[in-house]
Amino acid sequence: MFLLTHLQRDDTAVSVEGFCRCADPGRRQCPDRTCIPQEWFCDGYDDCSDGADEMNCPTCAASQHRCADFTCVEGGDSIVCDLSYDCPDGSDEWGCAAVEQCGQDNCLTLSHLDGEFYEVCASVWDSSLSDVVCSYLGQGNSTGTGSAISYPSAGKKYLILNPSQSGFRSKFSLANSCTGDSVMKVSCGPAACGRPLPQFSPYVIGGKSADTAGKWPWQVSLKYRNIHHCGGSLINNRWVATAGHCVSR
Ligand SMILES: [Ca+2]
Ligand SMILES: [Ca+2]
């Protein structure tokens, strides 16, 4: 089944299913009477205004991590954002990095153990991590080693890099101050057209790289919470066609 997806003026994609009723298949009502996709219940994110969609969910043992598909994987938080796929659906490597507006510029934010995103203090940086960040963002390699931007803010917490630690998220610890109040900005190049990102390669079965960059300029990447989930095709300047299941969440 294919579905038309409407493009808002800010170019984010909003499914026309978003305006369906709770009685429609695949929809479920929150206590506040808002209507969200069934898949948004117990997916690790608060979607109902009171967080009811994340209550009374299946749980895993303390030593395990619960994947988005409810699989329990040994390792707990240590397997999250550690540059290795551990969940069958790869969800342990989702949502590790994001870009947020910092004043007049954009800066890097990373997921911490507490589930929150924090800016990264620029006092210590490993340039090899710039490509890792761009991969997590679903983009091509970094266009530089990363840069520092001044963004002072009282009472803010930062992530400080400790390069000697292994993994990715475990390299960053939370601090109450940052030398120079400078935070990291990482610029990424566009993902190579027609070629799967390395981090998604295990999920491409029987595929092969496309031949010519720019051969499919009408293709789009539909992202949810900064994570690529599906491709789509531009129909015109306002509509995208994609598979129905791609907009069920
Ligand atoms: Ca949810
Ligand atoms: Ca992992």
Domain ranges of the chain: 2-54, 64-93, 97-188, 218-246
Q: How many CB atoms lie within 10 A of CB 135?
A: 22
pLDDT of residue 68: 78
Domain 97-188 coded CATH 3.10.250.10: yes
pLDDT tens digits, one per residue of 11-55: 333 333 344 467 777 778 888 888 887 878 887 778 888 889 888
CATH number of 2-54: 4.10.400
Q: Which ligand is nearest to the CA of 48?
A: 1
Q: How many CB atoms lie within 10 A of CB 128?
A: 10
Q: Which ligand is nearest to the CA of 34?
A: 1
Q: Which ligand is nearest to the CA of 47?
A: 1
Phi, psi of 112 (to 5 degrees): -110, 175
Q: How many CB atoms lie within 10 A of CB 183?
A: 28
**CA–CA dist 186, 69 (Å, integer):** 31
Q: Is the pLDDT of residue 224 over 80?
A: no
User: From ligand 2's centre to the CA of 33, what distance in Å?
Assistant: 36
Q: What is the dihedral of CA 97, 101, 107, 110, to 10 degrees?
A: -30
User: From ligand 2's centre to the CA of 71, what distance in Å?
Assistant: 13
How open is the CA angle 124-129-133, to the nearest 5 degrees? 115
User: From ligand 1's centre to the CA of 46, what distance in Å?
Assistant: 5
Please report which confidence band the pLDDT of residue 228 belongs to, taking 50, 70 and 90 as the band edges: low
User: From ligand 2's centre to the CA of 91, what distance in Å?
Assistant: 8
Average pLDDT over residues 197-213: 56
Q: Which helix (H) or strand (E) holds 128?
A: helix 128-136
Using an 8 Å Cβ cutoff, are 121 and 158 in contact?
yes
Tokens 């209507």 correspond to: 35
pTM of the complete model: 0.62
User: From ligand 1's centre to the CA of 58, what distance in Å?
Assistant: 13
pLDDT of residue 65: 92
Please report which confidence band the pLDDT of residue 150 belongs to, taking 50, 70 and 90 as the band edges: very high
